[in-house]
Amino acid sequence: MNVSVIIPTHDRRRLLRRALDSVRAQSRPPEQVIVVDDGSRDGTAAMVRREYPDVELLRQPCRGVSAARNRGIEHATGDWIALLDSDDEWLPAKLERQLALLRQRPAERVCHTDEIWIRNGVRVNPGRRHAKRDGDIFRQCLRLCAMSPSSILLHRSVLEDVGLFDESLPACEDYDLWLRITSRYPVALVEEPLVRKYGGHADQLSRRHWGMDRFRVQALQKILAAGVLDGGQRDAAQRTLRRKLQILAAGAAKRGKHAAARRYLAAVPSAPRPEVDGGVAG
Burial 136-156 (b: 16+ CB within 10 A, else e): ebbbbbbeebbbbbbbbbbbb
* Per-residue model confidence as pLDDT tens digits over 188-210: 999 999 999 998 655 555 445 45
Domain residues of the chain, as ranges? 3-208, 213-270
Confidence label for 276 from pLDDT (cuts 50, 70 and 90): very low
pLDDT of 72 > 90? The answer is yes
Cα distances from 64 to residues 37, 80, 84, 95, 267, in angstroms, run 10, 23, 15, 26, 28
Average pLDDT over all residues of the chain:
90
Confidence label for 59 from pLDDT (cuts 50, 70 and 90): very high
pLDDT of 12 > 60? The answer is yes
* Per-residue model confidence as pLDDT tens digits over 75-100: 999 999 999 999 999 999 999 999 99
**22 SS3 class:** helix
* Per-residue model confidence as pLDDT tens digits over 227-265: 999 999 999 999 999 999 988 888 888 888 888 888 878
Instruction: Quote the distance between the C-alpha of residue 196 and its chain's center.
Output: 15
Per cent of the chain over pLDDT 90 is 74
Instruction: Tell me which residue of 160, 6, 168, 211 sits closest to 88, measured CA to CA.
Output: 6
- DSSP of 32-70: EEEEEEES--SSHHHHHHHH-TTSEEEEESS--HHHHHH
**pLDDT reported for residue 121:** 83
Residue type, 50: R
* Per-residue model confidence as pLDDT tens digits over 153-195: 999 999 999 999 999 999 999 999 999 999 999 999 999 999 9
Confidence label for 280 from pLDDT (cuts 50, 70 and 90): very low
Instruction: Tell me which residue of 24, 35, 34, 158 sits closest to 95, measured CA to CA.
Output: 24
Task: Give the domain 3-208 fold.
Answer: Spore Coat Polysaccharide Biosynthesis Protein SpsA; Chain A (3.90.550)
Query: How buried is residue 114: exposed, middle or buried, by Cβ count under 10 Å (0-12/13-18/19+)?
Result: middle
Given a contact cutoff of 8 angstroms between Cβ atoms, the answer to whether 181 and 78 are in contact is no
Cα angle 136, 197, 123; round to 5: 115
